[in-house]
Structure 1
Amino acid sequence: MAAAVFAPRPNQKCQRRTSSLTPLVALLAVLLAASGCAIDPTRDADRVLAAVPGEPLARAAELARRGEPAAAAELYLELAEAAVPPARQQLELDAARALLQAGQTDEANRVLIAIDKTALTSVQRELVLLLEADVALQRGRAEDAIARLGRVNQRTLPADLRAQYFSTLAAAQRLNKDPLAAAQALDQRDRLLRDDPAARLDNQVSLLFTLSTLGPSGLDGAARETSGRMRGWVELARLVGGFGAASPELDSRYAQWRGRNRMHPAEGSLVSAYFRTLAGGYPANTEVLVLLPRGGRFGTAGNAVRDGIQAAREADRSGNRPNLDFRDASGRVTGPFDRGVDGGAQLVIGPLDREGVDSLAGRPALRVPTLALNRSGGGTASNLYQFSLAPEDEAINAANLAWAAGLRSAALLYPSDPWGERMATAYRGQWRTLGGRMLAEQSYSPTAGNHARAVDALLAGGTPDLVFLVATTAEVRPLWSALQLGLPRIPAIATSHVYDGDIDPSRDEALAGLYFVEIPWLLDQARSDSLSRRALTDRLPNVRGPLARLYAMGIDAYRLAPRISEMGRSPGTFFPGETGGLNIDSLGQVRRQLVLARFTPGGPRVQQRIEVRPAPAAADAGDSDD
């Protein structure tokens, strides 16, 4: 979990209530401190809670500080039952914040819904909106988060809190598949960072990274739509996008651009910082402990991640390569972790297996920033950031893309095995969380070959807006063929399990029209730089195979590690990773936005949105788009 971003205004009564908070939670606590302690005593949280017994209140705060936010939330709710407004509402807000810290988003949402809004103070009304926005982001409901933030009276916030507000808004806009709106929020944040040059430069780098996701044609469109400062940012994104690395020619062209745009706020070192961050951007003499298994169940996966990390280090031309201390570690890793940190490690990458992550997540706090390469079973700790390639994330990405395209009803087709059930649960849960309707569900046997019968049974449930397809390369062709016969104009989306990354014209022809989500590294066949899949294949043959995505994870782990603390403090900070667009949420989870692609006869092609094809007119009802 990320540490608190801002300290409250100098007042000890306020200070005691802001420990161990996540970024947006910290924003809420400081808003409370700034508004209650420095501006209006009637809205001071300590005054609101003056009649609440001090000993249990202090015990709840101590539980949260020790890394037991769920227990703290339980105690806050017990106190709320005996309190009267507005103290009751304050304790319920404290409980909701603690539940968010614990990762219990649904419970936090239930607490917020149950709060009696008629008895809220003016400050508490703002707190509710901000907490509701955070809950919506955690649940993937970008539109709801944006709506809640739109109701916050952000102009009354101090400058540092407004900067955090725009950072959160940028994260919501990116989740809503609107990079230009996200960049506009970061531009607003830039105006508030004039007194913090390092934060301002980092924000400008994130702004360009965000715009880069539009691609060349999207940037061309943005150039036509924007003016003033934003037009300048778009021009810079187009400029750096034309170069694979920093170069004298780029420096010269940037200097010329700055000469023509003297009033633009772009920092003089922006271009060099952009490419330095892409490569790694480690401070000089950084010691990094890498905990990966060399053998056993996860040994092969660990070797693939290790190769990716080492390849990224070799390609790092930023000027400061870190010292990497690789140590064999699996299962409970507290021993190797402590010995490495005692030996001078300033950052940690790993462990890879869940048991190892759980062993670190059980601590209240870690001594150094740690980028785990899996997710715990529910625990968290300060300074622990969790980066995973969980297949469920792909289902969530697919559901979010479908929702962003305006699709609202779906059918679900999945294999009747443990993996299929796991993926179906992820699709089902996210789709319902977004507000979508699941018209029909149907499982199929991955070995029986009754795919057409399963599709017929699925279609008996009605005509959906789209189909969520759970399949692997072994089953996808007959399933897609049956879907095309039954619902030729209804889009379907699958996960990366239908694509192995190889060039296969026969497959591409058979699957033409099917959407899927994938990591950028596997889709960019034109790349030829030292970290491209094509270049690494010459040295690492297993890059073409089931471990390919783990190489990309290793590259991203190397590049993310020096930035995780800053990214954890600011949800708007963005990194264009090989495994997807990356940001860190208020729980310390690395969130990946995958690329949408579509099979075509000429190979997979990246898409901006799922296209919804209208039903055919009566005159051409027998025609097909394919």
Structure 2
Amino acid sequence: MQLKKISLIVAVLSGLSACGTTPKNVQPATNPQTQALAVQSTENMDASSLYALALSKQGANRIQVLYGAREAAINEGNWPMLEQICFELESKASVDHVQNKLYIAFAQKEQGKYESAHTILTNISDQLTLAEHKGWHQYLKGSIFASQKLPKKALVHYFKSADTSQQNKLNITGLNQDIWTALQQLSSYALERFDRGSVIQQGWVKLAKYHQVYLGSTVQLHQAMNNWQRRYKNHPGSFIIPNEVKSTINLAPYQATKLAILLPQSGSSERLGSALKNGFLAAMDKSQIEEIYFIDEMDSAELIERELQKSQPDFVIGPLLKSNIVKVKSSPFIAQSAAIFLNEVNPDEAQRIHTEHYYFALNPEHEVEQALVHFLAKGFQKPMLLAPDTPSGQRLISHFNTQWQNFSKTQPEAGFYSNSEDMVEVITELLEVDRSKARIKEVKSLFRSEVESETRSRRDIDAIYILGDAIETRLLKPYLDVNVSTFAERIPLYASSRSYSKQIDKTDKGDLEGLYFTELPWMLPDVVNQRNLRDTYSRLWPEQADIEQRLFAMAHDALNLIPELKQLSRIPGKEFDGLTGALSIKEANQIHRKLSWGQYHKNSIRLVSLDERPPTPLFMQQVE
């Protein structure tokens, strides 16, 4: 894979070199024999050696050897050396400086120095006179947006580069593949919005739409591709037909009929296992699964292996507990099987993921990231976060803060409470209500007559995010209401799914008017198209705890995901609408959840749609 990448980059930058101007001061060697000896003496040298040799020379000879060193650095994929060589060429008047800047930007991008690479591209944007430079500039700029997981913005630049390339008959190697990769990350709605512009752009977008709609349907996809080729003759996307599309036609989904499910059937987690089992059995009604073998994940690794070898399932789901996932990873049967583990992957295993092992967890970090995206889309500058002073609360706020710093210069306020008694103290301190009260007391002491007063809270807090459970949220909300100054605009309140409880809401919605929160679609009223399933569930298990209801939905989704996994893993923009949210597969085969937004409104809960545009990294915002 690395050799393939390097050969591609050599082709890319060779094209860029072809557009460069010949240094005016470089003269050809007058003696052909001497020139041949010089070439022979340097042709086997690596980039570092050539660079050192160049520094020992003067004038045109130095530049000539630096060019050779630059080419060698590209061949080797030695990006730090490429950057250093280009910096040395910066001082030479005869060098095409725009071209050289593009080399530097490329080298820095490959090293992950996205901010400095983007700065270079921005600074030379008004110096682009050659079509070749303009095409490469747009391509590199788009690739930086792509590296920041912003495929929509990347495509804006890619398509400009593609148009320049077509109009000037340029060959920007790598551009077509990168366009295709970015298009595959878009939803059908986003593709529809891109279906405009030049013939090149429309051709690409329609190809992606056909690929997304007909993937897995061999006859229809083949027909759609033929129609596309007749309409867009000589389109640069034609290479996709024999390569990418042909391979995905044969991308058959998992055809599992015999399933082994590992879940806790003994010990303290037995009730969690029962909730999962109910979800799996309920999902069988509309699946092709014919047999299910339930295995206690609390058993020894040896006993679990014997059960798997005996039942010979087509697919494995579970275990639920992290420690048991580690335990069964050594199973020879699981090592050769496709599986969905019902928890997240450990960070140290992220680079050693089995291609057919998937990780499905009700991960609270997903909700934190979703809230953060909305806050940035709304333009909030100073959110305030409230969480219990526990390892989980500290971890989630730390995760929010780390992500926030990639997109904003401000620092969120964070408050941790240990119990209900110190909630008021934490809130009044964060909102600086205590300072307002101190000022009022001081003013009153100066006058004998009665002084009318009202406390004021700080005005820079523009959103409050609660990461407490249902009981804590019902305590915090009234405190926030009375401590926010009446002179200030109402601060929107948000919470995670921990704040919501179907059981508590039956008897006490409290004073939660206006509160927004993320939640599994399964837990919200009138959200999922599963009315019959919800009615049956409520009739069979009317008193189930919230965690058991969520695990039921998780198990139901896990079984229904099996035939969808391969397409989800191949098409980044593809989603599966499940009981636990809109599911997609991200890096390291992790199944990511996008939850629904609910809001307390007039003593009931309504479904709301909030702005969740992907944020632009801080270093790219200044020129957007």
Q: TM-score range by the shorter chain?
A: 0.5 to 0.7
Question: 2:253·2:566 contact (CA, 8 Å) conserved in 1?
Answer: no
Question: 2:575·2:583 contact (CA, 8 Å) conserved in 1?
Answer: yes
> What one-letter code is carried by the residue in structure 2 that aligns with 1:166?
L
Alpha-carbon shift at residue 132 of structure 1 (Å) = 4.0
Alignment of 1:525-564 (within 5 A): 525=526, 529=530, 532-541=533-542, 543-564=544-565
Structure-2 residue corresponding to 1:386: 359
Question: 2:386·2:466 contact (CA, 8 Å) conserved in 1?
Answer: yes
Structure-2 residue corresponding to 1:367: 336
Q: Compare 108-117 and 302-311 and name the one that shifted more.
A: 108-117
Q: 1:50 to 1:401 in 2, by over 3 A?
A: farther
> What one-letter code is carried by the residue in structure 2 that aligns with 1:423?
L
One of 157, 174, 189 as aligned partner of 1:151: 157
Secondary structure in 1 matching 2:460: coil
One of 279, 289, 311 as aligned partner of 1:308: 279
1:403 aligns with 2:363: no
Deviation string for 1:567-591 (max 9, x for gaps)? 1111011111111111112432211
* Alpha-carbon distance in 2 for matches of 1:130, 1:343: 51
Alpha-carbon shift at residue 403 of structure 1 (Å) = 1.9
Deviation string for 1:517-556 (max 9, x for gaps)? 1111111347684763332122234544332111111111
Q: 1:40 to 1:568 in 2, by over 3 A?
A: same
Alpha-carbon shift at residue 486 of structure 1 (Å) = 2.6
Structure-1 residue corresponding to 2:413: 440
Secondary structure in 1 matching 2:602: coil
Q: How many residues align?
A: 456
Alpha-carbon shift at residue 392 of structure 1 (Å) = 2.3
* Alpha-carbon distance in 2 for matches of 1:195, 1:459: 52
One of 154, 179, 190 as aligned partner of 1:181: 190
One of 311, 324, 329 as aligned partner of 2:297: 329
1:450 aligns with 2:422: yes
* Alpha-carbon distance in 2 for matches of 1:322, 1:163: 39
One of 132, 140, 148 as aligned partner of 1:136: 148
Structure-2 residue corresponding to 1:517: 518
One of 462, 469, 476 as aligned partner of 2:473: 476
Structure-1 residue corresponding to 2:258: 287
Deviation string for 1:345-382 (max 9, x for gaps)? 43332222223444677999953432221112211312
Secondary structure in 1 matching 2:588: coil
Structure-1 residue corresponding to 2:574: 573
Q: 1:51 to 1:509 in 2, by over 3 A?
A: farther
> What one-letter code is carried by the residue in structure 2 that aligns with 1:428?
N
Question: 2:522·2:528 contact (CA, 8 Å) conserved in 1?
Answer: no
* Alpha-carbon distance in 2 for matches of 1:282, 1:531: 28
Structure-1 residue corresponding to 2:431: 459
Question: 2:283·2:559 contact (CA, 8 Å) conserved in 1?
Answer: yes
What is the percentage of aligned positions where both structures have the same residue?
20
* Alpha-carbon distance in 2 for matches of 1:185, 1:335: 54
> What one-letter code is carried by the residue in structure 2 that aligns with 1:472?
D
* Alpha-carbon distance in 1 for matches of 2:191, 2:305: 37
Deviation string for 1:24-64 (max 9, x for gaps)? xxxxx59x749939996979xxxxx99669xxxxxxxxxxx
> What one-letter code is carried by the residue in structure 2 that aligns with 1:36?
A
Unaligned runs of 5+ in 1: 1-14, 19-28, 44-48, 54-75, 98-107, 138-143, 171-178, 206-280, 612-626
* Alpha-carbon distance in 2 for matches of 1:475, 1:195: 48
Q: 1:355 to 1:559 in 2, by over 3 A?
A: same
Structure-1 residue corresponding to 2:11: 36
Deviation string for 1:96-144 (max 9, x for gaps)? 98xxxxxxxxxx745785799689999997886566445533xxxxxx5
Alpha-carbon shift at residue 599 of structure 1 (Å) = 0.9
Question: 2:104·2:117 contact (CA, 8 Å) conserved in 1?
Answer: no
* Alpha-carbon distance in 2 for matches of 1:96, 1:553: 39
* Alpha-carbon distance in 2 for matches of 1:334, 1:132: 49
Secondary structure in 2 matching 1:510: coil
Question: 2:497·2:519 contact (CA, 8 Å) conserved in 1?
Answer: yes
Q: 1:607 to 1:566 in 2, by over 3 A?
A: same
Structure-1 residue corresponding to 2:94: none
* Alpha-carbon distance in 2 for matches of 1:336, 1:96: 47
Q: 1:512 to 1:16 in 2, by over 3 A?
A: closer
1:168 aligns with 2:203: no
Question: 1:519·1:580 contact (CA, 8 Å) conserved in 2?
Answer: yes
* TM-score of the pair, normalised by structure 2: 0.60
* Alpha-carbon distance in 2 for matches of 1:370, 1:126: 42
Higher relative contact order (CA 8 A, sep 6+): 1
Question: 2:528·2:579 contact (CA, 8 Å) conserved in 1?
Answer: no
Deviation string for 1:399-451 (max 9, x for gaps)? 2222222323211222222332223223323333332633532222224x232
* Alpha-carbon distance in 1 for matches of 2:299, 2:140: 40
Secondary structure in 2 matching 1:547: helix
Q: Compare 301-310 and 493-502 and name the one that shifted more.
A: 301-310
Question: 1:568·1:586 contact (CA, 8 Å) conserved in 2?
Answer: no
Structure-2 residue corresponding to 1:59: none
Question: 1:583·1:591 contact (CA, 8 Å) conserved in 2?
Answer: yes
* Alpha-carbon distance in 2 for matches of 1:38, 1:113: 19
Question: 2:424·2:479 contact (CA, 8 Å) conserved in 1?
Answer: yes
* Alpha-carbon distance in 2 for matches of 1:50, 1:556: 58
Deviation string for 1:468-527 (max 9, x for gaps)? 112212222231112112336010111111111247376335111111111111113476
Alpha-carbon shift at residue 594 of structure 1 (Å) = 1.0
* Alpha-carbon distance in 1 for matches of 2:310, 2:139: 41
Q: 1:504 to 1:356 in 2, by over 3 A?
A: closer
* Alpha-carbon distance in 1 for matches of 2:301, 2:120: 46
Question: 1:471·1:498 contact (CA, 8 Å) conserved in 2?
Answer: yes
* Alpha-carbon distance in 1 for matches of 2:510, 2:533: 25
* Alpha-carbon distance in 1 for matches of 2:12, 2:114: 26
* Alpha-carbon distance in 2 for matches of 1:376, 1:603: 37
One of 17, 35, 42 as aligned partner of 2:3: 17
Q: 1:584 to 1:610 in 2, by over 3 A?
A: closer
Question: 2:387·2:393 contact (CA, 8 Å) conserved in 1?
Answer: yes
Question: 1:386·1:590 contact (CA, 8 Å) conserved in 2?
Answer: yes
* Alpha-carbon distance in 2 for matches of 1:424, 1:464: 16
Question: 2:142·2:157 contact (CA, 8 Å) conserved in 1?
Answer: no
1:486 aligns with 2:483: yes
* Alpha-carbon distance in 2 for matches of 1:334, 1:363: 8
Question: 2:401·2:412 contact (CA, 8 Å) conserved in 1?
Answer: no
> What one-letter code is carried by the residue in structure 1 that aligns with 2:315?
L
Alpha-carbon shift at residue 297 of structure 1 (Å) = 4.5
* Alpha-carbon distance in 2 for matches of 1:93, 1:450: 53
Question: 1:315·1:531 contact (CA, 8 Å) conserved in 2?
Answer: no
Q: Compare 455-464 and 519-528 and name the one that shifted more.
A: 519-528
> What one-letter code is carried by the residue in structure 2 that aligns with 1:451?
M
Q: 1:520 to 1:90 in 2, by over 3 A?
A: farther
